Amino acid sequence: MKKGIIQQSLSGFYDVLDDTEHTIYRTRARGNFRAKKIKPMVGDHVDFQSDNQREGYLLKVHERENQLVRPPIANVDIAVVVTAVKEPEFSSNLLDRQLVALEAQNVTPIIYFSKTDLLDPSAASTFNETIVTGYRTIGYHVIFHQPAFNEQVKTELLSLLTGKISVVMGQTGAGKSTLLNQLSPELQLATGEISQALQRGKHTTRKVSLLNINGSLIADTPGFSSYEAFEMTINELPQYFPEMLQLSAECRFRGCLHIKEPSCAVKKAVTDGRIMNSRYENYLMFHDLIANQKPKYNKEK
């Protein structure tokens, strides 16, 4: 029996990176996995058996530390959230949706702002003072640089990702594959251009796979034009906004939802400018989305 990590999933096959030999083995799931409703994912730590590198079977999927839905990957340590400042236009709502999903799974986010060369000096200064400073104040690690990528950025990113399982995620066309190509030019990943009519990029990545880059396992993942990942309750949601969680102890009422309650420390912080207006507005929108979600029924018999 061997141990490893699923590096790629494609058409019912699972390519496993062996822990000891660092060799790739192609495997399939055992027949009883379906009966037990076990669905292996990229990033899973597994036991497997294989007589050669092309024919093997997964025996066991170990318990996951976490798992993401968009993208579908397990046991993630760090997520690099690639966020374009233009083309497509910056959306705080889309960024905050991703950050909430990562907070809910206890995954450490790094916000990487791409396409910064499209900002003139005045726009760059304003973006830095409002958006970048705002997220750094919350406590997020933010990379905002003009140009967006150079040797300094490469050194910074690789030092954060070395020895970790990481995922590069973000909106279609934001520049995920471009970033990975810059980190490791030999990858030569396909990149796409933005559709000016739709403000959406062409999907250049269609599967999830872990790439070995300078001692880091980094997933390049399909992009998206929208992001729905609200599996929490309205009472849990405030926990995934770190700045609100920190202030919640100062609210008059335990379990304050920071909406209509009197003597709310979070609402006061918004008024005082200590919490970004965009963050609070997105929080209210997410609260309403969760409150109005239709219940999900299990249709399997």
CA distance 52 to 34: 24
Residue 154 in marked binding region: no
* The token pair that represents 23 in the structure block: 């060799």
Asked if residues 161 and 218 have their Cβ atoms less than 8 Å apart, the reply is yes
Residue 139 in marked binding region: no
Contacts of 135 (CB under 8 A, 6+ apart): 111, 142
Which residue in 240, 243, 222 sits closest to 290, CA to CA? Answer: 240
Specify whether the backbone of 188 is left (phi greater than 0), alpha (psi in -120 to 50) or beta: left
Residue 175 in marked binding region: yes
Residue 56 in marked binding region: no
Residue 176 in marked binding region: yes
Residue 4 in marked binding region: no
Residue 203 in marked binding region: no
Residue 114 in marked binding region: yes
E strand or H helix that includes residue 109 = strand 108-114
Asked if residues 250 and 265 have their Cβ atoms less than 8 Å apart, the reply is yes
Residue 207 in marked binding region: no
Residue 221 in marked binding region: no
Residue 170 in marked binding region: yes
Contacts of 207 (CB under 8 A, 6+ apart): 8, 9, 10, 222
Contacts of 223 (CB under 8 A, 6+ apart): 170, 171, 172, 173, 174, 176, 201, 203, 204, 205
∠ CA 142-7-158, nearest 5°, is 30
Residue 197 in marked binding region: no
Please state at what angle helix 151-161 crosses helix 176-183, rounded to 10 degrees. Answer: 90
Strands (E), 171-227: 194-195, 200-201, 209-213, 216-220
Residue 177 in marked binding region: yes
Residue 172 in marked binding region: yes
Residue 115 in marked binding region: yes
Which residue ranges make up the annotated binding site? 114-117, 170-178, 251, 256, 258, 264
Which residue ranges make up the annotated binding site for GTP? 114-117, 170-178
Which residue ranges make up the annotated binding site for Zn(2+)? 251, 256, 258, 264
